[in-house]
Amino acid sequence: MSEVIAQYGFLLLGMACLFAFFMAWGVGANDVANAMGTSVGARAITIKQAIIIAMIFEFAGAWLAGGEVTSTIRSSIIDVEAAGFDERPELLVYGMLSSLLAAGIWLLIASKYGWPVSTTHSIIGAIVGFAAVGISLESIMWGQVSSIVASWIVSPLVAGTISFCLFMTVQYLVLSTKDPFANAKKYVPYYIFLVGFVIAMVTMVKGLRHVGLEITFAQSTAMAIGFGIITMFIGVFMLRRIPEPSSDKMQNQFSSVESVFAILMVFTACSMAFAHGSNDVANAIGPLAAINSVVQSGGVFETESALPMWILLLGGFGIVSGLAIWGYRVIATIGRNITELTPSRGFAAELAAATTVVIASGTGIPVSTTHTLVGAVLGVGVARGIGALNLSTVGKIFLSWIVTLPVGALLSIIFFFIFQAAFG
């Protein structure tokens, strides 16, 4: 048994719980806005409604599909054998504590200024930092890190292209026609099917794999088609309740058309929140599960460890509290400050982001929800002309993305040596 673990085990575990809650709070304050920002910006729901929806569905996602088994080394960034954790398990504990604290502090700073940054990249940057300097450069799987860096460019481009194409179809089939309201009622059921299908795929491919359900990609697709059809019937029923425009004036027509798309956006907001909660809670609780496993076993290193329910609850509560207290800051950036969103534009952006996540999950490419959603909102803006974009805001967002990995790494290195000096 490691002397450090034997002497300070429960103090280290207590610190890990505190830091994991802090990190989950940061995920709630920053990352949850990705699921809600477009819906709020498009005025389909208010910020208060967004927070209530997210609190319910993020927590449900984290609780129901947040993970039965979690890998103690997040995203396979560290080579266990090269790192030598078998001999010195306390190094893993210091590293994971440093990663949680570093990523949490960066998310706090980013949320304060309303920058939508990637929580996944924050924690990965932090883990790479402590491993490179505190252990060895050979202990890092550089191939994995380079694929993550490549996803910075690929995911926003893919999401932006899909949202651009989606919005152009809305423009062609509905908005630019002589009778936009009639065409909205005609074509929106097909968009509703698409939303149902894609969101079900997000949940099954990115979410339910955590609960130990072995569902193949083909089975996921078949179930998602069924869910899409059910969603379409619900949507058709809801569309009947939207009154005909009071006159043939185009302004009244467009107002009614946007009411049709607003129904879609409420549904996408709920579903994206569930999928996000089930997936991204792991960024906060993965390192905590690793520390818990090492402490409970008295310093024995295990590559995989069972995930106790209390850890899942801690992550869920952290996400919800972060969203409720500070979530509105990043919601404003994504929803209002990049480009002006209406329900039809917001729907195109949200569906494009979800589709990109599904494609990436199916092909095993690591992507960031934040990057895909910002790319999708940019795509909708470009569809209206480059002048529709707030280039100053876009520049600040890109800069915050670039500095996320090095800032997370630098903070993590500093904390790693502090913990090593404090505990030996």
* Sequence spans of domains, the chain: 3-423
* pLDDT over 80 at 60, yes or no: no
Instruction: Give the Cα separation of 417 and 269 in Å (integer).
Output: 42
* pLDDT over 50 at 73, yes or no: no
Q: Which residue has the tokens 């009947």?
A: 240
Q: What confidence category does residue 407 fall into, taking pLDDT thresholds of 50, 70 and 90?
A: very high
Cβ neighbors of 332 (< 8 A, separation 6 or more) are 37, 40, 114
Are the CB atoms for 120 and 366 separated by under 8 Å?
A: yes
Backbone angles phi, psi at 385, to 5 degrees: 105, 145
Q: Which whole number is the average pLDDT over 176-184?
A: 84
Please report the pLDDT score of residue 89 as a whole number.
82
Q: Specify the range with the lowest mean pLDDT, choosing from 88-92, 362-366, 374-378.
A: 362-366
Query: Dihedral angle at the C-alpha atoms of 14, 15, 16, 22, nearest 10 degrees?
Result: 120
Are the CB atoms for 350 and 272 separated by under 8 Å?
A: yes
Are the CB atoms for 59 and 319 separated by under 8 Å?
A: yes
Beta bridge mates, 70: 305
* pLDDT over 80 at 19, yes or no: yes
Please report the pLDDT score of residue 380 as a whole number.
86
Q: What is the largest CA-CA distance in the chain?
A: 80
Task: Compute how many other C-beta atoms are within 10 angstroms of the C-beta atom of residue 64.
Answer: 17
340 to each of 92, 152, 268, 393, how far by Cα in Å? Answer: 46, 24, 19, 13
* pLDDT over 70 at 349, yes or no: yes
Alpha helices in 27-131 (DSSP H): 32-41, 47-65, 80-83, 89-112, 119-130
The pLDDT tens digits of the residues spanning 194-240 come to: 888 877 876 676 556 555 667 788 888 899 999 999 988 888 888 88
Strand 304-306 and strand 69-71: the pairing is antiparallel
* pLDDT over 90 at 69, yes or no: no
Please report the pLDDT score of residue 413 as a whole number.
95
The pLDDT tens digits of the residues spanning 281-336 come to: 777 888 888 888 888 877 776 666 567 778 888 888 888 888 888 877 777 777 66
* pLDDT over 80 at 163, yes or no: yes
Are the CB atoms for 20 and 317 separated by under 8 Å?
A: no
- For 152-166, the DSSP string reads HHHHHHHHHHHHHHH
The pLDDT tens digits of the residues spanning 128-147 come to: 898 888 888 888 888 877 87
Q: What confidence category does residue 279 fall into, taking pLDDT thresholds of 50, 70 and 90?
A: low
> What per-residue string of b and e applies to 179-208 under the rule 16 or more CB within 10 Å gives b?
ebbebbbebbeebbbbbbbbbbbbbbbbbb
Judging by beta carbons within 10 Å of its beta carbon (0-12, 13-18, 19+), is residue 168 exposed, middle or buried?
middle
More confident residue, 33 or 372: 372
Question: Helix (H, G, I), strand (E, B), or coil: what is residue 76?
Answer: helix
3-state secondary structure 50-72: HHHHHHHHHHHHHHHHCCCEEEC
Instruction: Give the Cα separation of 307 and 32 in Å (integer).
Output: 23
* Type of residue found at 129: G
